[in-house]
Structure 1
């Protein structure tokens, strides 16, 4: 049996889900508590109710181990999700979750909230494989997602009575303070990278605010010289191996940009170099449709771009930013030159304006200055 809290007419209800004779049943029970200020009490009531129901209708726990439960779930996920998502699940499970639960031999019937809490606390303190401390709060949420879904499958299949993972306490989200380059710093960086293989990538990333995966996913069918457009349709992601995707992060990530003269020059040069390299390498050339690649046709590995970018900043004495923060720099330049949040949302390919506001709202100085000027004018005129 599983349960959740729902709000109806301003009050909390416990919603109990069970399976009987292969059919799913749902039962709503009022807590009598109003929504405001009673979330913790309602959660406690739900836990107590689930415990009561489990005692009344006990489920015989399976002898399956937690590790085998995760393996079983991975097999199912391979049919349900795309390759990149599956590789992410598989990598996390094989690197962290399976070794821990295999070594400890924990069975499903012994998998309590306390057992899982010990796992998460240990990984948060000492989870890094390089010995440099613990995993981030974001990574821990990924672990919880995998274990939670795997155990939920076991509840659905009648192997355990409830999912202990839903009650595990997680560390607070860490707010990463994004860093930005000014227009002058970007120009300085681009000049310093003259002749470097990633200079064209840096230029396009700064100009269009592309994600690394979108940048490396640019194909020639996305470069419309005739109509002067750059289309974002493909991505290249890094998991255990490089994975090519014929779709972007979200539907809103599929977008188009006008091709600036500088961008046209970059793409024309890349095309000319590709044709020359095909002639020079002959049969050894690795043909593909990607715009940015090595002279022999091999595509850039995402990790190479990230690490080489960092090395170049250090070499030229530039302030350290992540490659992804070229995207942030693009957004900050747009905002500080009078563009509104809605326009920036569309340019960056965010699924909703709240995402844009959360990341860049504090940079919208032009709008804030306009508001400040209006308030000043009102106060002066006594309105």
Structure 2
């Protein structure tokens, strides 16, 4: 039989129940389980009746004692063998920072849907990528379901709260814009040409003119660039882990792509190539000599955070509209649309595996393009 009890939380009154789950065959002692997070006594009673039926049908005591952390370790030991090192590190970080502190010590059979909703609500107040956190946690619950550790996924049907930044109005739209317009791009490139080294100027120029990811550019080797045909090959990305630089293949087939370069960009790359060769001649200890396109002065790969820091510094110094490094990729896509490129062309150039990602950028295209759309309609209808 289960016993029911009301308790108080920051969110208000909740209900819990305790139930005898039988004898542990390993210790010979009786075991009890406690489940919390029910809004009403009736919800707790329904859950208690369901648990009782599960015990009758043969659910093991061992499974009832497994914590979310235990199941995470089981799942991740298998899953980590199928993913890249950078993805593994990213997933571990999300669980360590956001998921395990909230779920890790709880018995996975005792985690309820109301508790999951409460946790998602709390996480959404602190970070913007709450949906990704939910997706990662859900993988553990799906694994537990698959392994018959739980009978129902408590994270199913849990909703993501609307964040304030999503409620864009005319007053805050300009501040939320994570891309530059054409005049802002020109202003920024004048600044980088005048104030930065040629290497850094070429890097920012490429970010804007190709839409490549920073990891893709920092992993570039000179044999990835064909100066005769005017194409650049993007097939790998640079990853930094525990002081070690790792060159790994791009995540998806679409990310591995060949894109064209304009004559101005090719000219800048040739100029940088000459300067780098001259610098390498003076540095005989450069173990990456004549291989990697963008390196530190000693020839080693550059820090991934370097471009973020440099961009933030220039924006602050010159009071530019604030965007992120990813915003430069968004900028390239937006200006492509403004120049008349099709959605399919932009998708292929940026290496999006899902066209919806390209569509999302298209819906945030610049005001100038929106004005051009109205003008196109006017010219057509007045013919």
Q: TM-score range by the shorter chain?
A: 0.7 to 0.9
Q: Which runs of 5+ in 2 are unaligned?
A: 1-45, 169-175
Within 5 Å, which residues of 2 pair with 1:1-383?
A: 57=57, 59-60=59-60, 61-102=63-104, 105-125=105-125, 134-136=126-128, 138=129, 140-172=130-162, 175=166, 177-194=176-193, 195-197=195-197, 198-237=200-239, 244-283=246-285, 285-287=287-289, 289-361=291-363, 363=365, 364-365=369-370, 366-377=372-383
Bigger mean CA offset, 299-308 vs 355-364:
355-364
SS in 1 for 2:233: strand
Change (3 A) 1:172 1:301: same
Shift of 1:54: 5.4
Shift of 1:330: 2.2
Shift of 1:145: 1.9
Change (3 A) 1:280 1:217: same
Change (3 A) 1:75 1:288: farther
Q: Which residue of structure 2 lines up, in the alignment, with residue 9 of structure 1?
A: none
Please say if residues 280 and 290 of structure 2, whose CA atoms lie closer than 8 Å, have aligned partners that are also in contact: no
Change (3 A) 1:81 1:242: same
Partners of 2:317 and 2:259 in 1: CA distance: 32
Equivalent pairs, count: 318
State the Cα RMSD in Å: 3.1
Partners of 2:58 and 2:381 in 1: CA distance: 66
Once the two structures are superposed, residues 345-368 of structure 1 have per-residue CA deviations (whole angstroms, 9 ceiling, x without a partner) of 333333354432331245344455
Q: Which runs of 5+ in 1 are unaligned?
A: 1-46, 126-133, 378-383
Change (3 A) 1:298 1:143: same
Please say if residues 236 and 244 of structure 1, whose CA atoms lie closer than 8 Å, have aligned partners that are also in contact: yes
